Chains A and B, each alone.
Chain A
């Protein structure tokens, strides 16, 4: 039962159905991350100096490097989208996997960060700042992993020249994950 319903092919708004749905997914993710980050901000601004002292121990170099990694992987996925538009499926496939590699590097840097922080005693339980740090970056990392997984799955159809519109759609999701990190970076690493 894998035929596409007629419903999916219609487009009264002018936006293709898959892309329209991705915008709604992004909207729902904004409220989830937004809720978490607003809660963090409320605590952070309330506790001011005390949390500032805690936040001094996050690894700004690692955070900055990860920002660079995600921005670059965002570039790769949009280049994959451009290649898919030009029907250059080999290039699209390659760029999708460069993006996945970028996600992999990001996760490895985070793993290194978590390990060093935990070894230095900055566990999730040390203070509520660290609870937020691990929850927020953990939730973000979970979304990075999901993005990598979905990109891998769609890449095989792309290689066969099928469902090329999915490159743009997963790209939008990946850019959103990038934008969340763009805000997480100053919130957790710079504001000290």
Chain B
């Protein structure tokens, strides 16, 4: 089976960048600003995922059809979320209210 030659990629360099990004995403929440936490945590997750997909999975050099398949499927997941959220995430309606559940206390052991 013939292999298409990938251009030379420095995998160790990519790995190092990934670790730096990981560190940033851990430090981010420690600063305490909520929106910053979300951007660092999820924004960086997206960047890391794209790097792993692009360079480790070689998706950057793959035939376009593979991208289209994956993007379409991902789009479906977004559709599922945004279409179901208005129904499942309502706190109250005309004649009803849905309170949050009461949680049971932690059993055994001390604090973490």
Contacts and interface: CB of A to CB of B under 8 A. Distances in A.
Nearest to B85: A42
Contacts of A78: 11, 56
A179 interface: yes
Interface residues of B, number: 53
B18 A23 contact: no
A126 B103 CA distance: 8
Given A23-B70, A53-B103, A120-B109, 5 more contacts: A27-B69, A72-B15, A78-B56, A126-B104, A190-B25
Contact of B101 (A82, A120, A127): A127
B93 to A, nearest CB: 14
B70 A26 contact: yes
Contact of B73 (A27, A59, A186): A27
B89 interface: yes
Contacts of B84: 38, 42
Across the A-B interface, give the 8 residue pairs with the lowest CB-CB distance, nearest first.
A34-B77, A186-B41, A121-B107, A120-B109, A75-B15, A190-B41, A121-B106, A46-B89
B37 A120 contact: no
B41 A191 contact: yes
Given A60-B26, A175-B52, A46 B88 contact: yes
A50 interface: yes
Interface stretch (A63-71, A100-108, A134-142): A63-71
Contacts of A47: 100-101
Interface string A74-100: 110111001001000000000000000
Contacts of A114: none
Given A42-B88, A72-B15, A178-B52, A57 B107 contact: no
A54 B81 contact: no
Interface of A: 9, 13-16, 18, 20, 23-24, 26-27, 30-31, 34-35, 38, 41-42, 45-47, 50, 53-54, 57, 59-60, 64, 67-68, 71-72, 74-75, 77-79, 82, 85, 119-122, 126-128, 165, 168, 171-172, 175-176, 178-179, 182-183, 185-186, 190-192
Contacts of B107: 121
Contact of A120 (B70, B80, B91, B108): B108
A175 B66 contact: no
Given A13-B65, A191-B41, A34 B100 contact: no
A38 B81 CA distance: 6
A182 B49 contact: yes
Contacts of A20: 66
A114 B3 CA distance: 42
Given A71-B19, A120-B106, A191-B37, A16 B56 contact: no
